[in-house]
């Protein structure tokens, strides 16, 4: 993770994403202290955004930072939650507050960077509420304009430019500033959850993967059916992994499977907008193979963009590394 990058930490609940993020914050604070003691220079400033309004989660984060001895060196921006349990819009209010918490944390980090030229490290734990707010506003638009006008393209595997713009308002606040803007950086890590593996139909996200048939796509658009026919003719297995690689939505036979498919598609959308992702795998956690349970096949970081020019990834190191890859 380079200065000015943004990174997703993504995986099912319980796979240790929060612990990984808190460990990174504690490590940055210790390095900053060592740097200050060695040469008197200020190190990275850390900001932790907790979007959950659950008091127990807030206490857990504070306790972890205190036990690590770094709580006083971390700016913590936390949601408070709705004060009224009877408020019919409490869920939407909590989601809106979560979005405001993430934006506020980035603003605090930017103030360190722009005023003093410092490097800032922001953790947003987590961005699941951003999706909840997006879904709520989408339902309002459907009531006005109709389902086909609002979400039909998404259901057929199309990209939503509106949703990308919505998330870009957060993701693109990470960056390395030029000398005219004090020369610091804001590095951003965002935690996001995905559903765990289910039994039965495979999904490519852990567990055994199933193979679909052309009949499973009878309700899809003609364009999707034509693409499926090409795959069948070429003897390409219709696994969820293969389908996602070429942008074909995976059909589901139940509401829960449909929700899971949309959640994984949403995760893919987030991944496409970020500079990389750390993918935590529940199967690796269960086996105890690796702690944290990082899946190297699904984890990636993108570096080297604009190293020599403003618009081309042609740094000599990147050219040397990737020249023989196809």
pLDDT for 309 equals 45
The per-residue pLDDT for 134 is 87
Could you tell me the CA-to-CA distances from 233 to 130, 189, 237, 238, 250 in Å, in that order?
Answer: 41, 43, 10, 11, 19
- Cβ count within 10 A of residue 193: 20
Other beta carbons within 10 angstroms of residue 317's beta carbon come to 10
pLDDT in the model for residue 47: 97
Buried b (16+ CB within 10 A) or exposed e, 112-130: bbeeeebbbbbbbbbbbbb
Looking at residue 283, its pLDDT comes to 86
In whole angstroms, give the CA distance from residue 289 to residue 279. Answer: 15
Q: How far is CA 36 from CA 10, 22, 71, 213, in A?
A: 33, 21, 17, 62
Contacts of 221 (CB under 8 A, 6+ apart): 156
Q: Are strands 276-279 and 6-11 parallel, antiparallel or unpaired?
A: parallel
Closest CA to 248 of 229, 270, 233, 234: 229
Nearest to 207 by CA among 241, 174, 177, 243: 241
- Compute the C-alpha angle 25/116/311, nearest 5°: 80
Residue 9, token pair as written in the block: 């930490």
* pLDDT of the residue at 139: 84
User: Can you give the pLDDT at residue 10?
Assistant: 93
So what's the pLDDT on residue 51? 94
Give the tokens for residue 180.
């005219």
Angle between helices 90-116 and 161-171 (to 10 degrees): 50
Nearest by Cα to 133 from 109, 173, 103 = 103
Looking at residue 84, what is its pLDDT? Answer: 53
Residue by residue, pLDDT tens for the chain (326 residues) are: 778 999 999 999 889 999 999 999 999 999 989 888 888 777 899 999 999 988 999 999 999 999 999 999 999 999 886 555 555 568 888 999 999 999 999 999 999 999 989 999 999 998 999 988 988 888 888 888 887 777 665 555 555 778 888 899 999 999 999 989 988 999 999 999 987 654 333 443 444 456 778 887 877 888 888 999 999 998 888 888 888 888 888 776 545 556 666 677 778 888 888 998 999 998 888 888 778 899 888 888 876 554 444 444 455 666 676 666 65
């Amino acid at each position: 993770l380079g200065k000015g990058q943004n990174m997703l930490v993504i995986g099912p609940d319980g796979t240790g994403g929060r612990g990984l993020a808190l460990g990174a914050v504690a490590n940055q604070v210790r390095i900053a202290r060592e740097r200050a003691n060695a040469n008197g220079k200020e190190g990275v400033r850390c900001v932790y955004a907790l979007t959950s309004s659950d008091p127990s989660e807030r206490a857990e984060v504070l306790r972890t930072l205190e036990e690590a001895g770094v709580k006083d060196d971390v700016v913590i921006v936390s949601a408070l939650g709705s004060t009224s349990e009877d408020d019919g819009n409490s869920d939407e209010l909590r989601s809106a507050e979560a979005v405001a918490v993430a934006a506020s944390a980035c603003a605090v980090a930017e103030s360190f960077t722009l005023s003093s030229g410092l490097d800032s490290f922001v953790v947003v734990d987590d961005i699941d509420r951003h999706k909840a707010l997006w879904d709520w506003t989408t339902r309002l638009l459907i009531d006005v304009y109709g389902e086909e006008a609002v979400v039909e393209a998404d259901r057929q595997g199309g990209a939503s430019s509106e949703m990308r713009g919505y998330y870009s308002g957060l993701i693109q606040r990470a960056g390395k500033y030029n000398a005219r803007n004090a020369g610091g950086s804001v590095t951003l890590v965002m935690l996001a959850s995905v559903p765990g593996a289910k039994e039965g139909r495979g999904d490519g996200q852990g567990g055994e993967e199933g193979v679909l048939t052309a009949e499973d796509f009878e309700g899809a658009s003609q364009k999707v059916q034509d693409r499926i026919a090409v795959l069948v003719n070429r003897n390409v297995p219709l696994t969820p992994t293969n389908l996602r690689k070429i942008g074909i939505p995976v059909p589901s036979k139940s509401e829960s499977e449909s929700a899971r498919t949309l959640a994984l598609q949403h995760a893919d959308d987030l991944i496409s907008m970020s500079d990389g992702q750390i993918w935590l795998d529940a199967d690796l956690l269960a086996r105890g193979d690796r702690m944290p349970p990082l899946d190297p096949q699904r984890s990636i970081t993108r570096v080297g963009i604009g190293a020599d020019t403003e618009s081309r990834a042609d740094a000599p190191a990147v050219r040397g590394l990737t020249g023989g890859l196809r």
